[in-house]
A = this chain, B = another copy of it.
């Protein structure tokens, strides 16, 4: 499974692609940070991000995109830009019929370090070790994008099991309601 990890942002947007193998085996294929100038209009910055992300998707052809889920507990204006960038990235995936999954920062930290409250240095250190990189990925956005992709690789089997369980529950509900409908019709006919 080829996963593209994205740490969305207007000023810096971290991008990574990793390949998941057997078990917990993961290999880094690419990592970079896209920057857009702060003095540009918002819609032009979003276009720069969209162009870069579309190029990555068409070059690396990932099976799935893992994006960091934004929370509004941070700085208000930053969060809005991050959400807008995330929307543009999810759109690029939808246009190519690539699945998108969102992971919260604590899910990502817990996946790679075992601690949902790990700091940036711990995440970077673990990402470097897990992927057996020669040097630490910098800036933090690059390490975060790699951590996101690793997190998705490792959570994917669980996500698939949960989706299967949900589908089964929906199917059972549908069958139950169909049976109920038949019984009601019989009762009505008997009256």
Contact = CB atoms under 8 A, between A and B. Distances in A.
B88 A80 contact: no
Give how many copies assemble into the complex.
2
A44 interface: yes
B100 A41 contact: yes
A47 B83 contact: no
A187 interface: no
A128 interface: no
Contact of A87 (B41, B85, B93, B99): B85
A45 B79 CA distance: 20
Given A50-B91, A79-B72, A91-B91, A43 B84 contact: no
Interface string A124-138: 000000000000000
A105 B120 CA distance: 37
A94 interface: yes
Interface size class of A (residues with CB under 8 A): 20 to 34
Chain A interface, DSSP helix/strand/loop, else mixed = helix
Interface string A69-80: 011100010011
Interface string A42-53: 111011001000
Contact of A80 (B42, B43, B46, B70): B70
A43 B83 contact: no
Nearest to A82: B83
Nearest to A74: B72
Interface in A79-107: 79-80, 83-88, 90-91, 93-95, 99-100, 102
12 contacts: A42-B100, A43-B94, A44-B94, A46-B87, A46-B90, A46-B91, A71-B76, A72-B72, A79-B83, A83-B87, A84-B86, A88-B91
Q: Which 5 A-B pairs have the closest CB atoms?
A: A84-B87, A83-B83, A47-B94, A87-B87, A43-B90
